[in-house]
Amino acid sequence: MPHSVHITSRKTATTETDSRATTTDLEDQLRQLVSAACKHPAKSHARQKALTQIIRLVSTRLWKENTPYYQDALQQTWIYFCHNICESGTGQQYDPDRGSIIAWLNFYLRKRLQDFRCRPFEISLSQDSESGKGFDPPDTRGDIPPILDEVRAWAEADATGELRKVQIKNRPEVNCRVLILRRLPPETSWKVLSEEFEVTVSTLSSFYRRQCLPHLRKFGQSEGYL
């Protein structure tokens, strides 16, 4: 029996060692991708390709919450990532000496989620920073990342008409094409949209989450962003 316990302990130690090794390998890979991305101009295909690889590797390791505003907070996080990973765009440039990309993005994501909990549906992308430590929310008045340029072009074209077809009942003017475009940076707040369309904030945000985000995710997957 003591021999069995000894074997189990050794297996546990081996598993923990393998886990640490896997994490280290991932962080090394991410550092290499960041270095590769930042050697190229901001809107170049080469940088975009490297950033897409980083997003794929990081996305499964980010903080998860089952909340109605999670996707909005995540969208803000990816915008922040694109603006600040290589240059000081809307905050201080990412510094690998201060922590991993995963920790950096999780810190920002959880702050955005906390903001949504405190002031649901009214979070502005240009709100003031509290920390002053380089984790400022994105100021979308600057250049829009290439990913968002492509999303905007896709939504504006709506080549198949599928985004226009998905609409709030008896309100054809309130459809996924309109809401996706209005929620792209510089995003229009739910409060403003609610007043404009005379639809409650909860109805708009719920419709966007249940009906529009799946189309947005599908496009992201088709383009290799997710």
Does residue 22 fall inside a structural domain?
no
Amino acid 180 reads I
Does residue 1 fall inside a structural domain?
no
Helix (H) or strand (E) holding 168: strand 167-168
Does residue 16 fall inside a structural domain?
no
Does residue 155 fall inside a structural domain?
yes
pLDDT at 74: 86
| Residues 117-157 pLDDT 10s | 765 444 333 333 333 333 333 333 333 445 677 888 899 99
pLDDT at 12 over 70: no
- Structural domain span for residue 164: 146-222
Mean pLDDT of the chain: 76
Q: Are 37 and 50 within 8 A, CB to CB?
A: yes
Does residue 186 fall inside a structural domain?
yes
pLDDT at 42 over 70: yes
Does residue 83 fall inside a structural domain?
no
Place of tokens 């940076």: 185
pLDDT at 8 over 80: no
pLDDT at 222: 77
Number of domains into which the chain is organized: 1
pLDDT at 2 over 70: no
Two structure tokens written together for 62: 């980010």
Does residue 113 fall inside a structural domain?
no
